[in-house]
A = this chain, B = another copy of it.
Amino acid sequence: MKKIMIVEDDKVICQELEEMLNHAGYEAVVLQDFSKATEEILASSVDLVLLDINIPVINGEVLLKSIREKSEVPIIMVTSRNNETDEVLSMSFGADDYITKPYNPNILLLRIGAVLKRAGKNNDVTTYRNLNVNAKKGVLSDGERELWLTKNEMIIFQFLLNHQGSIVSRDDLMTDLWNNDEYINDNALTVNISRLRAKLTEFGIENAIETRKGQGYILL
Q: Mark A149-172, 1 if CB is under 8 A from B, else 0.
A: 011001000000000011100000
* Across-interface contacts of A151 in B (CB, < 8 A): 213-215
Whose C-beta in chain B lies nearest to the C-beta of A212? B138
CA gap between A150 and B215 in the complex, in Å = 8
Q: Is the CB of B137 within 8 A of A167?
A: yes
Q: Which of B85, B110, B138, B167 contacts A167 (CB 8 A)?
A: B138
Q: Mark A74-93, 1 if CB is under 8 A from B, else 0.
A: 00000000001101100110
A173 CB–B CB distance under 8 Å? no
* Across-interface contacts of A215 in B (CB, < 8 A): 138, 151, 154
**Minimum distance in angstroms from A164 CB to a CB of chain B:** 9
- Counting contact residues on chain A (CB < 8 A from B), the size range is 20 to 34
CA gap between A213 and B138 in the complex, in Å = 11
Q: Is the CB of A106 within 8 A of B123?
A: no
**Minimum distance in angstroms from A176 CB to a CB of chain B:** 15
Given contacts A136-B166, A137-B166, A212-B138, contact A104 B91 (CB under 8 A): no
* Across-interface contacts of A167 in B (CB, < 8 A): 136-138
A185 CB–B CB distance under 8 Å? no
A128 CB–B CB distance under 8 Å? no
Task: Give me the interface of A with B, judged by CB distance under 8 Å.
Answer: 84-85, 87-88, 91-92, 104, 106-107, 110, 114, 118, 122-123, 136-138, 148, 150-151, 154, 165-167, 212-215, 218
A136-B165, A138-B212 given; 6 more Cβ-contact pairs under 8 Å: A87-B107, A87-B110, A91-B110, A136-B166, A137-B166, A137-B167
